[in-house]
Amino acid sequence: MSDPEKNKRLFGTNGIRGIPNEELTPEFCLLVGKAIGTFFNGKIVVGSDNRLSGDMIINAVNSGILSTGSETVMIGVLPTPGIQYYCKKHNLPGVMITASHNPPQFNGIKCIDSDGTELERSKEEKIEGIYYSNKYRTARWDSIGRSILDNSGFDLYLNGIMNMIDVKKIRERKFRVAVDTGNGAAYLTTPELLSRLGATAVTLNANPDGLFTSRESEPKPANLKYLIDLVKSGGFDFGIAHDGDADRAVFIDSSGNFIDGDKTLTLFVKHYIRKGERVVTPISSSDALEEVCSKAGANVVRTRVGAPIVSRTMIQEKARLGGEENGGIIYGDHQYCRDGAMSLGIVMDILSKEKKNLKELIESLPQFFITRKTIPARSDFSILSEMLKKEYPGWEVSTMDGIKLRNGNDWILARPSGTEPIIRLFTHSQKRERSEELSSKVEQLVMSV
């Protein structure tokens, strides 16, 4: 990226991603910072997760921003939604240095708008245009920007979450929670939130480790064995795990069962939805949402995959509730972005008002199953699309995002990743075995190309 081809897109679905000192060189990050400072032209919030390369990238981006005459507010290591909340409350744009759930060798640069949402594509294109045209603002020596430090973001973020839930009822329940922060950015915020909510927290991996040596950052069942075993040992109301920048949360019920993020989203919608409202979610989420919303007199609006797309659509549709099937809940009354700690507060809020435990609440939802796989992208995606159409003739086809084929309650979604050279595969059915069967069959097709 330090010598990119002309007009190559820099920002993917969740910011710029790459390997530091390979794609993300200091020189490249400096120029991106200059483009960001030129575009925003004012005070800019800067924060990060705790990856090892964070200091190098922050310093390079910050130097570029300051060179344009823009000022920066350095708020340190926080979950991405914590920085977004700071931006929203102070009406300031921001830059988050993170690669979210990607492996530790990656890092990234994500821009945040002054309302706390991830920057929309049209604004990213303007930053890219500044970068490629080299039309940076360059301040005189006496007008170069300054950096200030502000450590108030931690309390601001936690207080914002607590204002959205019934703290009194939650404290009365005296929850016992097993929490795995995955050595990531929530290593302080989530245990502290649990403490303030009167819960007993037993923590795993609640130390900042930019190498993610304890487990991979993606909070999927294969990476959460120790958390699942801990919850199974007994005495916990539930377990929770985050990804690297803690904009997502997944849960483990008191019996040690991993709860699919899709089911957590459905539970959230079921308990928070109001008649006549709209719920926004990507085409990768299960059909359970339609059933829940139909019973409540509400509607579902489907989008392409990507949290920024869901957030923007929620704002356009004036929707309070939305999210993704990967554990990313978006509660518009709080802020229009995925928020892992807010998801924790929501689950505790629901449990404090119900007589059922988390397992019983999940089992009371419409039962659909999604199998997810990531497959190396071995050829042009259009080849796979044509193969799927031939393999499943008569199935309804949608090309909103990748290709989705539907036959009743069975569907297949294949889409190229916006952050990695892989294909993301989703298969859906009312029976787990059928979902897994579809997944295996499509995987074989992909690998045969």
Which amino acids are annotated catalytic? 100
Please state, in angstroms and rounded to a whole number, the distance separating the CA atoms of residues 273 and 204.
33
383 Cα distance to chain centroid: 29
Residue 327: closest CA among 402, 267, 410, 417:
267
Residues 6+ apart with CB under 8 A from 388: 403, 405, 412, 414, 442, 445
Q: How many CB atoms lie within 10 A of CB 444?
A: 9
- Which pair of tokens denotes residue 342? 């807010």
The length of the chain in residues reads 449
By DSSP bridging, strand 422-429 and strand 147-149 are unpaired
Handedness of CA 197, 198, 201, 206 (dihedral sign): positive
What's the alpha-carbon Rg for the chain, to the nearest Å?
22
In sequence order, what are the residues at sequence separation of 6 or more whose Cβ sits closer than 8 angstroms to the Cβ of residue 376?
421, 422, 423
Please name which of 430, 380, 390, 393 lies closest in space to residue 409, comparing C-alpha atoms. Answer: 430
Alpha helices (runs of H) in 163-260, residue ranges in sequence order: 167-173, 189-196, 225-232
Torsion angle of alpha carbons 356, 436, 371, 396, nearest 10°? -110
